[in-house]
Structure 1
Amino acid sequence: MKVHSFAIAALCTAIVVDASNLHDVRHNARHSRLSRRSSTPKLARRCKNRPQGLTPSQPPAQPPAQPPAQSPPTDNNNNNTSGNYGGDNSGQNNNNNSGQQNSGGDQQNNNNNSGQHNNGQQDNSGNSGNNNNNNGNNNGAGPIAGSVAGLLSVHSDCGDIGATKDITSITGPNGNLYWLNCGLEDSGWRPPFFTLDDIKFADLGQALNDPKSPFHACKDFTDLFYKHGTENGIPPIVLASFAMQESTCNPNTVGGGGEIGLMQLTHEKCEGASDCFNPDFNIGTGARFFKKLLDSNGGNVLQSVGAYNGWYPGMTKDAATAARHSGCCRCQQNLDYLFQTVNGWWQNIDAYSNHLGAFFNLDVC
């Protein structure tokens, strides 16, 4: 009986051990299958490192979708920055940013990048339109700035004065360029008549309050312009304008024909002077000379301004530019001189950086 019981116990133990071995075989086989799967391409792809910066919940980065093409904006930004050029700030700075340049000229950013640029000289901004106001040879269609003191209104024997509140490359409050140059391109210059009482101009002191005023180049001589202007009955900005036009207010300037100093005095005006470059002497002599011209021309301010630069009644374009082919190219008369003076500097506008005029005959020199 004891032997029988021992046999039964041994048989049960063998069954338990065999079952345990079967579990181990199946467990090991499962891990063996997983091990083989881990080398499959599919699992290898799944186990690639995540893109850096992604959290487990984030999908892999996708290339950005391309936005649909946008048409150029059409709203107009009428950013009036005429103070950049002087005068009051009533002028328009058409900040258009949309167009094609047809003949870019010198490209000085006329902020009028609207529509088509016809000789662009400056970037004038806004977002629509056909921009002819590029401060170069641009037919004067668009404004650079507004006038500071109304429009010139006098009797004219040379057609329409063409005075405009807005200043462009060929129009302004003291008349159109071709009116000022009346007769120059045919029978000879016939200077329209107007006096100091008729002209429109900015106040020099107020102009200097504008941080963009070109007359900051003359700030060291402001008192002298007032001093000699008062002594001779000439608005200080008129004298300062001669200095800007002639020398850009550089007292050490020597002209192409030997002219001297701020006001570009010729040698005969410096006779007996210990220092013709001295600003007080130079400005005073220039002021007295202009006063003499006014008196001899019956108060005709335009004829006198022209005479300061060598213009004279009856002068033709050919005569004015004859020196172009000589050894003194800059001895020509500047055909834009009158307009640059009366509608540029007198209005607190830099006639050079804004490319006022239409002829630019000295550019070849």
Structure 2
Amino acid sequence: MKFHSFALAALCTAIVVEASNPHEARLNARHNRLSRRTSNNKLAKRCKNRPQGPSSSSSAPATQPTQDNSNNNNNNSGDNSGSNNSGNNGNNDQNNNNNNGGQQNNGGDQNNNSGNNNNNNNSSNNSGNSGNNSGSSNGSSGGSIGGLLNVASNCGDIGATHDITSITGPNGNLYWLNCGLEDSSGWRPPFIKMSDIQFVDLNDALKDSNSPFHACQAFTDLFYKHGNENGIPPIVLASFAMQESSCNPQTTGGGGEAGLMQLTHEKCVGTSDCYEPDFNIGTGARFFKTLLDNNGGDVLTSVGNYNGWYKGMTKDAATAARNSACCRCQQNLDYIFQTVNGWWQNVNAYSNHLGAYFNLDVC
């Protein structure tokens, strides 16, 4: 019985083992097929290899130093300082920046100082340019005149300009010529000799078709005659005639003044015709020469005296007749300027509206 049981068990075991062999064989065959597929080259070419991370030769992303803000401030303080270290990374780089920052910033300070010096130089150049342009101003009324008045001044800047404007010209600024007029001390004209003054020659003036002196052309020889006899430029005498009478020899003034030079009664004593041009111009020339001599060659004082101005005259005194029946008895406050920078430069002071006060316009 035992024998039969043993034999039956052995038989069953053999059957089971035999039955499992085909299944294992099939599994092995499937495994071999999968192995061949994974080794196939076509499958290997479907996808590129993934990156394996940064290689040892590639640099890591830059890290910001912990003191970046302060370093930026230091670098900014020197224009070019720290620029060489801008790409440095890590704590060592930060330390290098801190160690070098002082030297670089010092260099930057030097650069900044150099920049300041350059700015100063530019300012000087600009000042120079301003100085070069100071002779020009707006509202030019006449052409450029060669030469400028250059004398010692106790009344500030002369303000002479090549261009003739409403208040400037080659013989000085209107307010300089009227020095003291609006002060309580009154007019104190700067001292100018005839040789200091800038003039246009009368004959040269008459070559200009726009010259105001064409009205005086008939008397040119007399202006030269009496001018040369008395050491007075002919255009000075012609200018008096233009202002006083517009070179009309028959003019009679409101107070009885006669002729071209508007001679007063006492100057006409001993003559039968005070209007006669030769006598009239000659008498006017001698009178102005006397004024020059009495004033020690002071041109401005003498020109003013010819028209009623005097040293110490104030604006209020000069315009006291403004609201009277004799409005034109006022002194023309633009007279000196109009004379030396208008008429003496071959410029019609009236048509070009030279001056600033125009106090007679109300009359």
TM norm structure 2: 0.61
Question: What is the aligned partner in structure 2 of residue 339 from structure 1?
Answer: 337
Q: Which stretches in structure 2 are left out of the alignment for 5+ residues? A: 1-136
Partner of 1:260: 258
- State the percentage of identical aligned residues: 80
Name the Cα RMSD after superposition.
Answer: 1.0
Structure in which a larger fraction of residues adopt strand = 1
Give the corresponding residue for 1:309: 307
- 1:211 equivalenced with 2:209 (yes/no): yes
Q: Which of 141, 153, 156 is the aligned partner of 1:156?
A: 153
Which residue identity does 1:344 align to in structure 2? Answer: G
Corresponding position of 1:181: 178
2:192 to 191, 194, 198: 194
Choose the corresponding residue for 1:242, options 231, 240, 243: 240
Deviation string 1:129-173 (CA, Å, 9 cap, x unpaired) is xxxxxxxxxxx7322223433100000010110100000010000
Instruction: Give the distance between the partners of 1:337 and 1:274, measured in 2 at CA.
Output: 32
Runs of 4+ in 1 over 6 A off after TM superposition: none
Distance in 2 between residues matched to 1:361 and 1:254, nearest whole Å: 22
SS at match of 1:197: helix
Q: Look up the equivalent residue of 1:145 and give its one-letter code.
A: G
Partner of 1:222: 220
What SS does the aligned partner of 1:325 have?
Answer: coil
Give the C-alpha shift of residue 197 in structure 1.
Answer: 0.3
Separation in structure 1 between the aligned mates of residue 168 and residue 343 of structure 2, nearest angstrom: 14
Taking the aligned partners of 1:263 and 1:188, their CA distance within structure 2 comes to 28
Question: CA offset at residue 258 of structure 1?
Answer: 2.2
Alpha-carbon distance between aligned partners in 2 of 1:247 and 1:364, rounded to the nearest angstrom: 20
Secondary structure of 1:350 counterpart: coil
Amino acid of the residue matched to residue 261 of structure 1? G
- Counterpart residue number, 1:143: 140
Letter of the structure 2 residue corresponding to residue 244 of structure 1:
M
Gaps of 5+ in 1: 1-139
- Distance, in Å, in 2 between the alignment partners of 1:182 and 1:146 is 26
Task: Identify the residue that residue 172 of structure 1 maps to in structure 2.
Answer: 169
For 1:232, give the aligned amino acid. Answer: N
Q: CA deviation at 1:255?
A: 1.7
Cα 1:257–1:147 change in 2 (3 A) is farther
CA contact (8 A) 2:145 2:163 kept: no
Among candidates 334, 359, 362, match of residue 361 of structure 1: 359
* Corresponding position of 1:321: 319
Relative to the length of structure 1, the TM-score reads 0.61
Structure with greater proportional helix content: 2
Q: Deviation of residue 248 (structure 1)?
A: 1.0
Q: How many residues align?
A: 226
Residue by residue over 1:2-36, the C-alpha shift from the partner in whole angstroms, topping out at 9 and shown as x without a partner, is xxxxxxxxxxxxxxxxxxxxxxxxxxxxxxxxxxx
Identify the residue that residue 276 of structure 1 maps to in structure 2: 274
Question: Are the counterparts in 2 of residues 147 and 172 from structure 1 also a CA contact under 8 Å?
Answer: no
- The Cα shift of 1:332 comes to 1.1
Q: Which has the larger radius of gyration?
A: 2
CA distance in 1, matches of 2:144, 2:313: 29
